[in-house]
Copies of this chain bind each other. A is one copy, B any other.
C-alpha cells in the first residue's frame, strides 16, 4: 500500500536543501523506509558543489552519507526524482513551486507562498486529511497533469492546531488567545544575531501574528468540493522571540462552545488518537498530543524532542478567568513545525496514491488528464 508497485522507494528531491529546514529534511530522509533522497537543489551560489561542501551543517552528527556526494543543482526544470520537498525561501518559492507542479512534480512545500491559495491544501494529516480532495481541482484549475502543491502550516501554527483539533472535535472552539515564545532556529541561519537575542526577548516576528491568526481558520475548516470554508474562529496572537535553540512554547486561553471540566479537557487531549491508517505512516504518532502533569512543564529544552519532535506537548491545563481553559503547549519548530510536517504530508500523499514513479507519470502525461 505504502510502496511503489515494484517494491522500490519513491525518489525525493529537496529544494532549498542547504537551509535549516532543508537540512532537517535531508537528515530525516537519510533513513526513511519509503523515500530515498536523489536530488538536492538550491537557488544560490552553492550549486555545482557536492552537498557536503555546499552546506554549513547545523545538526548533530555528520552530513548523512546519502547526501554527502549529491551535486547541488540549481532550480533546473528536470530533476531526477518522483516528487519534491520545497524548503525554498519565500522570495523564490512562489513561482518555482508552480513551475515544478506544471512539470508534473508533486511539490510538498514548507514555504508560506501558496498556503492560502484557494485550491492548495494546507495540510496537517491528523487534522484535515480530507483537504487532499482539493488536489484534483487544483490540477484542473492550473492545467497540471500529475503535479500539484501541498503545503504545511507555519511553525508556530502547527503545534497549536494539533492541540486545538481534539478540543474542537469534543467541545467546539470559539476563541483562541495565544502568546508565543519562539526559538531562534525558527528564523533560519544566520537568522537572529546573537547581539539581538542574548539575554533578551524580541517581541516581534515579521508576519507571524498574521499567519497564526489566519492559518488555523483554513486548517480547522472544511473543503466543500469546490473551496475551503473557514472555521470562523476568533484568534488573537502575540509572537515573541526568546533565547531558546529549538521549540516554540505557546500560552493559550480558549473559549469553548460546550461547557467542559478541566478533567474532560485533559482527557480529550490525552486520549486523542489518529486512525490506524494514519498511525501507520512512518513519521506519525498514534497519540500526537502528549499531556504532562508536572506543574512547570512543558519546557523547550527538556520536552522538545517528545515523540521524535512530532508531538505537541501540553501542560498546565487550568481554568481561565476570562475564557474557559488556559494551557501551555510546546512543539518542535523544525520537526512538527517544518521538516517533519512536510515529511508526514508526503507520507500521507504516498499512502493515498498521490505519488507516482516519474517514469510512470511521464507515461501518463501523454494521455489526456482525466482524474
Contacts and interface: CB of A to CB of B under 8 A. Distances in A.
Interface string A13-31: 0000000000000000000
11 contacts: A60-B305, A175-B322, A179-B238, A181-B181, A189-B195, A192-B195, A194-B197, A199-B300, A203-B297, A203-B299, A243-B243
Given A200-B299, A203-B296, A236-B322, 13 more contacts: A184-B194, A184-B195, A192-B193, A200-B302, A201-B300, A203-B299, A203-B315, A204-B296, A235-B321, A238-B253, A238-B328, A240-B251, A242-B243
A234 B321 contact: yes
A339 to B, nearest CB: 16
A245 B179 contact: no
Given A234-B321, A321-B236, A298 B244 contact: no
A244 B200 CA distance: 5
A261 interface: no
A368 interface: no
Most buried by B among A200, A244, A305: A200
A192 B185 CA distance: 14
A213 interface: yes
A206 to B, nearest CB: 8
Interface of A: 58, 60, 175, 177, 179, 181, 184-185, 189-204, 213, 234-236, 238, 240, 242-245, 249, 251, 253, 295-302, 305, 315-316, 320-323, 326, 328
Most buried by B among A235, A240, A315, A322: A322
B236 A199 contact: no
Contact of A249 (B58, B184, B201): B201
A24 to B, nearest CB: 13
Question: Top 3 nearest A-B pairs by Cβ distance?
Answer: A190-B193, A179-B179, A204-B296
A297 B315 CA distance: 29
B245 A195 contact: yes
Contacts of A58: 195, 302
Contacts of A175: 322
Contacts of A184: 194-195, 198
Most buried by B among A194, A243, A296, A301: A194
B213 A238 contact: no
B236 A326 contact: yes
Nearest to A174: B322
Contacts of A297: 203
A203 B302 contact: no
Contacts of A323: 236
A202 to B, nearest CB: 6
Nearest to A193: B190
